[in-house]
Amino acid sequence: MDKGIYAGQRARRHAHGERGVALITVLLITAILVGLTTQILSSHNLVISQHQNTFEHAQALEYALGAEELVRQALYDDAVNSGPNVDHLEEIWAQPVLPLDLDGVGLMQAYVIDLNRCFNLNTLADDPNNLNFERLQRLTERLNVSPNFADLIKDWVDEDQTVSGLGAEDSAYQIKRPPHLAANQVMRDLSELNMLVDVSGEDIQTLIGQVCLLPETQSKINVNTADAVTLATFDPGVSMADAEALVQQTRNYQDVTDFVAANPAFLSVQSELSVTSEYFLMRAQAQLSQSRVSLTSLFRRDLSNGQVTLLQRDFGNTFRANSTANSDSS
Ligand SMILES: [Ca+2]
Ligand SMILES: [Ca+2]
């Protein structure tokens, strides 16, 4: 009798135990399923978010490339229709596109500067009479930056290994860390200035803000767009006061002869002046939500037929507002 009671109790306990295990198993499976579902949903959301970011970035890129195409068209139209044979700061290409609403989905801004408005450092690579070297010396003096720049840049871009004054050639760069050589060819990018010896980063930034870099060693200064510092340092006979007075006026000289007649101090350098520009730089930025694309594009415009060629595209530069166009020529 007792044995029967105990056996019945054991059997009930056993049944309860099995139900307990089954319940725990169900709960465990439910927990695993909930966990899996959450993970799948979260991965799904991440994928959607990544796709959205990719889509917005692609859209911003297309807007920036659209700006580039518009600039190309504007420069061509300027050369063949609206403003042939003369380029000045009142023309359409020189007007910035202020932050423009992109149908409520983002903002776009862009501006164009001509690179014939400033001193081209690569002119030092072909400078038999040292005129460009002396121009750079006057420029560095005016900017109050290291007097070594003219010699250093001359040595950097000239083909030889002869050290010029305060300059430096391979031997000076080989002991740098990391060691390297002088370029001994024209500069491709103003950031090369950071490779020079014995000049401060601050001086380099000041110089970059004032000079240009064109892919040729012979270039002219457009007297309709150049700033006072560029004009004053271009020839020793031109005072800073005269250059400042000159740029205060609205400049729309139709040819260099007109300019020199009005400003005889430039007579000796008139063959190096122009009233047109050949190289242009566009900076654009398109922003859609969290995606931002900055584009810097370098164009050359053929002065004979207005054809505009894209020479360089750079997505690595941070967009800077065009508060001072002349200081934004890198
Ligand atoms: Ca024009
Ligand atoms: Ca050299």
- Quote the ligand 2 centre to 27 CA distance (angstroms): 78
Ligand 1 centre distance from Cα of residue 277 (Å): 8
Distance 260 CA to ligand 1 centre (A): 20
Pairing of strands 119-120, 211-212: parallel
Cα 242 to averaged position of ligand 1 atoms, centre (Å)? 25
Question: Cα–chain-centroid distance for residue 239?
Answer: 32
Which DSSP helix (H) or strand (E) runs through 117? none
DSSP 318: P
CA of 34 to the centre of ligand 1 (A): 68
Query: Around Cβ 324, how many Cβ atoms within 10 Å?
Result: 11
Rounded to the nearest whole angstrom, what is the distance from the C-alpha of residue 125 to the centroid of ligand 2?
9
Q: Are 295 and 67 in contact (CB under 8 A)?
A: yes
Ligand 1 geometric centre to CA of 107 (Å): 28
Per-residue confidence (pLDDT) for residue 2, from 0 to 100: 60
| Whole-structure pTM value | 0.84
pLDDT, residue 324, reads: 44
With CA atoms as reference, report the closest residue to 112 among 63, 77, 72: 72
Whole-angstrom distance, CA of residue 71 vs CA of residue 77: 10
Residues of the chain with pLDDT under 50: 324-330
Calculate how far, in angstroms, residue 276's C-alpha sits from the geometric centre of ligand 1.
7
Q: Which helix (H) or strand (E) element contains residue 112? A: strand 106-114
Which residues fall inside 5 Å of ion ligand 1, going by CB?
78, 83, 87, 91
With a CB cutoff of 8 Å and minimum separation 6, the contacts of 287 are 60, 106, 107, 108, 293
Closest-approaching ligand to the CA atom of 75:
1
**Main-chain phi, psi angles of 139, to 5 degrees:** -65, -45
Ligand nearest to the CA of 170: 2
Place of tokens 């242009």: 280
Q: Measure CA 273 to chain center.
A: 26
Q: Strand, coil or helix: what is 108?
A: strand
* CB-based neighbours (< 5 A) of ligand 2, an ion: 155, 158, 182, 184
pLDDT at 318: 80
**Contact by Cβ (8 Å): 135, 233:** yes
User: What tokens does 147 get?
Assistant: 């007097």
pLDDT tens per residue across span 87-122: 999 999 999 988 899 888 899 999 999 999 999 999
d(CA 136, CA 21): 88
Which position has the token pair 């899996």?
36
Q: What's the first-to-final CA gap in the chain, in angstroms?
A: 104
For the segment 275-295, what is each residue's pLDDT rounded down to a tens digit? Answer: 999 999 999 999 998 899 999
